Structure 1
Amino acid sequence: MADPAFKPAIATGLAAFILGLGFLILNPGNAANTLREEAFDLIEAGILAKRLPDGVVVVAIDRNSLAEKDSWPWPRARYVDLVSKLQDAKPAVIGIDILLNGPDRRAPGPTLRELAKSTGRTDLNTVAASLPDDDKALGDTLARSDVVLGLLLDEEGKDEPPFPAMIARAKGAPTPQPSQAAEGVDAPLPVLVEGAVAVGALSFSAGTGTKVRQAPVFVNAANEDYAGFAVEVFRDTQQASAFVIDPDGATVSVGDRHIPLREGASIRLHLTSPLSWAARTVSAADVLDGKIPAERLAGRIVLIGATAPEAGAFLATAVAPNTPTVQVQAEAIEGLRSGDIPLRIHNPRLVEPVAAAALGLVALAAALWLGPLLASLILAVLILGWIGFSVGLFAGTGLLIDPVGPLIPAVAAANSALVVMFARTRKLRNAIERKFGRYLSPEIVRRLTAAPEELRIEGELREVTALFSDIEGFTTMSENAEPRTLVGALDAYFDGVCAIVIRHGGMVDKIVGDAVHGLFNAPLALPGHARVAMDCAIEIGRFTQEFRNREDARKLGFGRTRIGLDTGPVIVGDVGGLGHLDYTAHGDAVNSAARLEAINKQFGTTICLGARAAKAIGAPELMRPLGTVVLRGRAAETAVFSPWPDDATPQRRQAYLAAYELVKQDSNQALALFKGLAEQWPGDPAVAYWVKTLS
């Protein structure tokens, strides 16, 4: 937590996590859904359906058929010939994936009627009536076997709606809510509808993005419910008279089969490879020429559809940008026959955000506490693990769970936190560390310049007075500060403090974060070093109090400086190599000075001296006793002192010492004296400490 980049990293990481989770849940501009569907496409393309194309035969009106038989659109007479040829082979059902709406404009009869209407020659109607009616002929042909026709949803469609699908509902079953609906239809000619066993919806909805990924189970057109074309064809093969909505509304029964009724009353397509479609496809021209053996068609589901570019009957799917609609219908029927229908997991709107939250928090925690390398490794494991789980779930069960969306909060949170920690920590630490060389003792510099052979100074035991200063609340300040402002203020602060230490004959041992470590009586002898160190601490206290009133320090919320002093034998010497000289001290006095600095928090003082430093100074009139404490890591109590503050008049000093002497003898009387002194000396922290402690 001491790292100044930690809190900003948490804030940035959490913000990125929330934004990522919000993107997944709120789905702005349908972007999250688009990303998810594209990921599903990749999974489904990687795990293509493995179905033998032996149930459906596609009779394609391809380029060869248009070149050899008729240009597009075909006249009804050509359909009469084609359907008749197919009926001779006795297929289970014929589905025509072509909208046969309106009269046949290529037949002579309708042409003459249009001419009679435009010219007023009524005799042409008589001639037209005497000509063969190809529409009626096709209707009669359709009636000889099970044939399913198709209609299209059209908001502006004015055709007469054909008979709707037979839909029954089990008791308590809800009404289906199709995602595809329109006020009108483009429907087959009524005379053709009369010969058909069913009419299904040919319309596909691209849904998310531009690709068709679903086939309708039900649609609503002109206020009537119709089944999708593929579903109607499948129903006929099941010899089911009606669709039955199951009680829970999640499935629809077709004979002994149950079709999932999800995602806007549609089923998701799981396509096979386009390379396999050729095995189920024959040319309409070959059928008309009698080149296709009857056993190739007998008992099969036969779909008639256009695959020639002139017809324009193409859709973008997950496996091909230009997929003939008749092949999509064939894939839907094969999926219904085999039960190979991909399903979203149950309640994805809850499961996927929960998974996203879990993945994101794990990734953020790793970024904050484990370091960049290990955090990156964990993030990679999370990404690969989740994608692998999604792929494995689909491969094993046919269930689809979003493989990408739940990873967005994890990637956003982890990377944002790592970037902030790296950038902020590097900027702050490099800016501070670059200054260390400026605060080495001039004595050390002169000594090394004059005698390079002393570059490695041997260790020696020396009595020193150690000074340890620290800025109150520095961690919070650095976390919230603008780096340039903070570094600039610290430059001025360290310049002032270090200059005072050096001016008093001490050396700046090191600067660690916001702390200045000073040594007195090293590396050269300094007479009266304990007293000098106390005078130095007093001057630092005055300087830092004035420094806090600077404009930049006020904006930063610069805390007061606390100082600890202690005296004792330590080992001093050069630690390090030629690349980095670090003349420093190791010993109890250094540790005590650091702990005494922290004791200022307890007493509210600026400077705390240990008992050994007070004894070395040898001037009790300059110091007031604060009490006895047990320093951190020690077992025995030790007395601590502080220099008298500037506003300590002789009367206040005498009153304080009198009250202090009674603390152990008569605490009630001591409290009364301290309370009286507090009224005279309201700003003194030591008096306030004893009033609070004895109360």
Structure 2
Amino acid sequence: MADLAFKPAIATGLTAFILGLYFLVYNPGGAANTLREEAFDFLESVIPPKRLPDGVVVVDIDRRTLSAKGGGWPWSREWHADLIAKLKQSNPEVIGIDILFSGPDRRSPALILSELARTTGRTDLEKTAEGLPDGTKRLAEVIDGSEVVLGLLLDEAGKDTVPFPSPILQMGSARQQLRPVQVASGVDAPFAGLSDGAAAVGALSFSAGTGTKVRQAPAFVLGGGEIFAGFAMEVFRNSQQASAFVLEENGTGVSVGDRRIPLDEGAAMRLHLSSPATWGARTVSAIDVFEGKVPAERLAGRIVLVGTSAPEGGAFLATSVGPITPTVQVQAEAIEGLRSGDIPRRIRNPRVLEPLAASALGLVALAAALWLGPLAASSVLAMLMLGWIGFSAGLFASTRLLIDPAGPLIPAIAAANSALVVMFAHTRKLRGAIERKFGRYLSPEIVRRLTAAPEELKIEGELREVSALFSDIEGFTTMSENAEPRTLVGALDAYFDGVCAIVIRHGGMVDKIVGDAVHGLFNAPLTVEGHAKAALDCAIEIGRFTTEFRQREDARRLGFGRTRIGLDTGPVIVGDVGGLGHLDYTAHGDAVNSAARLEALNKQFGTTVCLGARAAAAIGEPERLRPLGNVVLRGRTAQTAVFSPWPDDATPERRQAYMAAFDRMASNPAEARSLFQALAETWPGDPAVAYWVKTLA
């Protein structure tokens, strides 16, 4: 790459690289965090979490239950008491209630009549109320002394009496290192008569992370001046029969019995959610419990969570698996993670390691863009991206450590693409200059039309049947590497003058000259009667011209290779591509692609001109062509017949012998081989005969 392109490219690439690092490190507008968390969500969705057997059972107070019980939400505490009593009969390990029992039961008949007595002043009603059912009292009796975990919520305006906090043992200054992200000056706690008899009270509060999605469950929260464990943590502790939580001195982990639980910043643990499609296997409807349809062994010795998925309950969170995820299912997922130890956690020092990785990836990508070609640079960038994403996925799959799979790629993508755009723009400018130089090889009809009417620069596209001709010089790359530049340019000028003149003389248009190749179109933009035959006549004349051209002194000194020509016919889209500053009248279609592939096929058969079956049919003169065989062109799947014009030394006897041998190949290859071998003795210079002798040997 010339300095004119290299210097702007490296300046632009480095600028983009620095901006990409800035994006990753300084997180403008939280965009880098959002990208990272969405990438983590994707990793967690494709790598399923580990789960132990006999896991959590969720008892769902669903819409079917509410309908069967004939009430809306909130439920009467009498019904909650009945449900918990039913569950206790199956001897579960622990029962967690993902419902806040705040204040007295407003649906309790005793409370309703007591309030009526106070407002009316009727003491007789007060005495009557004392004999009516009291849902809160009944629920307290059912809970008292049982392995039931209740929940509370953090509330800045909460004025409830703070329940007895979670039992926490600390190592050294662990309490000072523990800095919960969820903090409030008060709590919304269960009614005092309920929490006093419960096994524990945990925090039901969740905090939304980046993008409003909940991705963490609280391990500990600070409410009303006391530290409480999260609800899932308390349920898990009671299932483990652990007397207390043991905080590590640095605050990065907590032990529950013999299980160590890693903690993220903010005293939280990351959730690794399984697919909601699997949740139905652990969920039973509360009405089925009431009606005795849930076998006792389904609940015995298990962790049982009670919650609601009914819309009336409003207990939903936005998570990575859905915008309305029932909180009881999120709690169940958190407990399953605690049971299996499947708790994702960030790598240590991500704010250092990830920018370092981004720097390495970005500099490699930029170097590839500057010193390699566009295709190679794109391949390097793709490998870097796939490698980094694969490394991130492998690390998470094997260790549950999370390293950002997306953010560190931003500097690499920005740097490589910015440099490639600059270099592409420079290359396009050079190509435009070359095309203008060879504009004299356009069809004179097109030149005259544009000179007479410049406003017609934009030629409307149309579908036309054309015959496409592709020529190429054999061994041009090696010749150009060893040639003296002035001699090579002079010889090429004469070569192109001759080839292009032949194309135009036969009614064709020189579509373009690319390197050593000439692309010609027949029947575009103007109609050419018998265009396929004209293209064949043109190809034969080019073959004769180039054979003679190779005998010139400068061509022999250069080692000028023979010219190969491909030809095919078919419908293509032709028209002007470009703007007012540049006109490129060209064709797009299968016939054009086939002509290029047929040109290359001459290497296989040793021929000069190779044409496809459609061109042969369009020519309509089968006596002028000889079959070469059926081949699968590069990039195709079906076989097609290919042909070549008979060479000048093909006498009637030779043509007859060739066709006799060719016709035997399908039915009797051995006989065909013998016939071709006999023909080779009388026609030693024919490349097609030599090809079949070698192929059938």
In 2, Cα distance between equivalents of 1:579 and 1:343: 67
Give yes or no for contact 1:25–1:353 (8 Å, CA) kept in 2: yes
Asked whether the 8 Å contact 1:141–1:195 carries over to 2, the reply is: no
The one-letter amino acid of 1:98's match is I
Q: Which residue does the alignment assign to 1:37?
A: 37
Number of the residue aligned with 2:403: 401
Given that 1:92 and 1:237 are in contact with CA atoms closer than 8 Å, whether structure 2 keeps it comes out as yes
Partner residue in 2 for 1:523: none
Contact 2:58/2:304 (8 A) holds in 1: yes
Q: Corresponding residue for 2:3?
A: 3
Cα distance between partner residues in 2 of 1:272 and 1:572: 68
Aligned in 2, Cα 1:431/1:61: closer, same or farther, shift over 3 Å? closer
- How much has 1:383 moved relative to structure 2? 0.9
Conserved in 2, the CA contact under 8 Å of 1:142 and 1:192? Answer: yes
The answer to whether structure 1 residue 90 and structure 2 residue 91 are counterparts is yes
Q: C-alpha separation between the residues in 2 aligned to 1:146 and 1:309? A: 28
1:545-560 → structure 2 map (5 Å cutoff):
none
Partners of 1:415 and 1:292 in 2: CA distance:
61
Q: Quote the Cα distance in structure 1 between the aligned partners of 2:220 and 2:166.
A: 9
CA distance 1:68–1:576, shift in 2 (3 Å): same
Alpha-carbon shift at residue 133 of structure 1 (Å): 2.6
Partner of 2:12: 12
2:114/2:125 contact within 8 Å kept: yes
Q: Any gaps of 5 or more consecutive residues in structure 1?
A: 441-518, 520-569, 587-695
2:110 is matched with which residue? 109
SS in structure 1 at match of 2:274: coil
> Shift of residue 160 of structure 1?
2.0
Matched, 1:25 2:25: yes
- Could you tell me which residue of structure 2 aligns to residue 170 of structure 1? 171
Deviation at 1:296, TM superposition (A): 1.4
* Aligned-partner Cα distance in 1 for 2:413–2:111: 65
Structure 2, unpaired ranges of 5+? 441-485, 499-515, 517-553, 555-697
**Does the C-alpha gap of structure 1 residues 175 and 124 become closer, same or farther in structure 2, counting only changes over 3 Å?**
farther
CA distance in 2 between counterparts of 1:275 and 1:431 reads 58
Distance 2:164 2:99 in 1: 18
Q: Judge which range, 128-137 or 21-30, deviates more.
A: 128-137
Could you tell me how far apart the structure 1 residues matched to 2:264 and 2:244 are? 19
Cα gap change, 1:365/1:111 in structure 2, threshold over 3 Å: closer, same or farther? same
Work out the CA distance in 2 between the residues paired with 1:571 and 1:217: 77
Measure how far apart 1:158 and its partner are.
2.4
Q: 2:436, 2:70 → 1: CA distance?
A: 89
| Residues 123/432 of structure 1: CA separation in 2 closer, same or farther (3 Å cut) | same
- Spell out the pairing of 1:627-638 with structure 2 (5 A cutoff): none
**Aligned-pair CA distance for 1:3:** 2.7
Distance in 2 (alpha carbons) for counterparts of 1:365 and 1:573: 37
Contact 2:165 / 2:228 at 8 angstroms: preserved in 1? yes
The 8 Å contact of residues 53 and 280 in structure 1, kept in 2 or not, is answered as no
Match of 1:63 in 2: 63
Distance, in Å, in 2 between the alignment partners of 1:574 and 1:313 is 83
CA shift for structure 1 position 432: 5.9
Distance between the aligned counterparts of 1:412 and 1:242, measured in 2? Answer: 51
1 CA distance for matches of 2:432 and 2:226? 74
Q: Which residue of 2 aligns with 1:638?
A: none
**Alpha-carbon deviation of 1:351?**
1.0
Alignment of 1:218 onto 2:220 = yes
Q: Which residue of 1 aligns with 2:355?
A: 353
1:337 is aligned to 2:339: yes
Shift of 1:131: 2.6
Secondary structure in 2 aligned to 1:177?
A: coil
- Quote the Cα distance in structure 1 between the aligned partners of 2:433 and 2:309: 73
How far off is 1:109 after superposition? Answer: 1.8
Distance 2:368 2:64 in 1: 63
| Cα distance in 2 between the residues matched to 1:267 and 1:580 | 76
Could you give the per-residue CA deviations for residues 223-274 of structure 1, whole angstroms, max 9, x where no partner exists? 2111000000001111112111112322111111111121311111112222
User: Structure 2 residue aligned with 1:579, among 496, 501, 509?
Assistant: 496
Q: 1:411 Cα deviation (Å)? A: 0.5
* Identity across matched positions, percent: 66
Aligned counterpart for 2:380 among listed residues 378, 381, 390: 378
Q: Distance in 2 between the 1:385 and 1:19 partners?
A: 23
Per the alignment, in what secondary structure is the counterpart of residue 321 of structure 1? strand
SS at match of 1:579: helix
Matching residue of 2:544: none
Within 5 Å, which residues of 2 pair with 1:134-533? 134-173=135-174, 174-427=176-429, 429=430
Give 1:5's aligned amino acid.
A
Deviation at 1:431, TM superposition (A): 6.8
Tell whether the 8 Å contact from 1:152 to 1:185 is kept in structure 2 after alignment.
yes
Could you tell me how far apart the structure 2 residues matched to 1:25 and 1:215 are?
Answer: 26
Counterpart CA distance in 2 for 1:191 and 1:203 is 22
For residue 363 of structure 1, what is the amino acid of its counterpart? Answer: A
Structure 1 counterpart of 2:262, one-letter code = P
How far apart in 2 are the matches of 1:435 and 1:338?
70
Distance 1:78 1:571 in 2: 97
Secondary structure class of the residue paired with 2:4? coil
- Cα distance 1:114–1:14, how it changes in 2: closer, same or farther (>3 A)? farther
Q: Partners of 1:359 and 1:92 in 2: how far apart?
A: 51
Q: Distance in 1 between matches of 2:78 and 2:242?
A: 31
* SS, match of residue 391 in structure 1: helix
Q: How much does 1:436 deviate?
A: 6.5
> CA 1:574/1:280 → structure 2, altered by over 3 Å: closer, same or farther?
closer
Taking structure 1 as the reference length, the TM-score comes to: 0.62
Cα deviation, residue 578, structure 1: 3.9
Contact 1:169 1:246 in 2 (8 A): yes
Alpha-carbon distance in 1 for matches of 2:489, 2:337: 83
The answer to whether the 8 A contact 2:173-2:249 is kept is yes
User: Max radius of gyration: which structure?
Assistant: 1
Taking the aligned partners of 1:115 and 1:580, their CA distance within structure 2 comes to 110
User: Residue type matched to 1:69 in 2?
Assistant: K
Q: Which residue of 1 aligns with 2:129?
A: 128
Q: 1:573 to 1:59 in 2, by over 3 A?
A: closer
TM-score (norm 2): 0.62
Secondary structure, in 3 states, of the residue corresponding to 1:316? strand
Deviations 1:473-530 (A, max 9, x none): xxxxxxxxxxxxxxxxxxxxxxxxxxxxxxxxxxxxxxxxxxxxxx9xxxxxxxxxxx
- The residue type equivalent to 1:175 in the other structure is Q
Q: Measure the CA separation in 2 of the matches of 1:109 and 1:20.
A: 66
Paired residues of 1:53 and 1:277 also in contact (CA < 8 A): no
Question: Using a 3 Å threshold, how does the CA distance of structure 1 residues 315 and 406 change in structure 2: closer, same or farther?
Answer: same
Alpha-carbon distance between aligned partners in 2 of 1:291 and 1:385, rounded to the nearest angstrom: 52
The alpha-carbon distance between structure 1 residues 434 and 290, as it changes in their structure 2 partners (threshold 3 A), is closer
Contact kept in structure 1, 2:177 and 2:250, CA below 8 Å: no
The letter for the 1-side match of 2:188 is D
d(CA) in 2 for partners of 1:430, 1:338: 62
Residues in 2 aligned to 1:572 and 1:171: alpha-carbon distance in whole angstroms: 84
SS of aligned partner of 1:264:
coil
Between the aligned partners of 1:109 and 1:571, the Cα distance in structure 2 is: 108
**What is the total number of aligned residue pairs between the two structures?**
454
> In structure 2, do the counterparts of structure 1 residues 107 and 437 end up closer, same or farther at CA, with 3 Å as the change threshold?
closer
1:76 aligned partner, one-letter code? R
Q: Does the Cα contact within 8 Å between 1:57 and 1:297 map onto a contact in 2?
A: yes
Provide the C-alpha distance between the structure 2 equivalents of 1:13 and 1:572, rounded to a whole number of angstroms.
Answer: 35
CA apart distance, 1:182 = 1.6
Q: Distance in 2 between matches of 1:13 and 1:192?
A: 65
Give me the whole-angstrom Cα distance separating, in 2, the residues matched to 1:7 and 1:572. 29
Contact 1:150/1:229 (<8 A) preserved: yes
1:322 Cα deviation after fit: 2.1
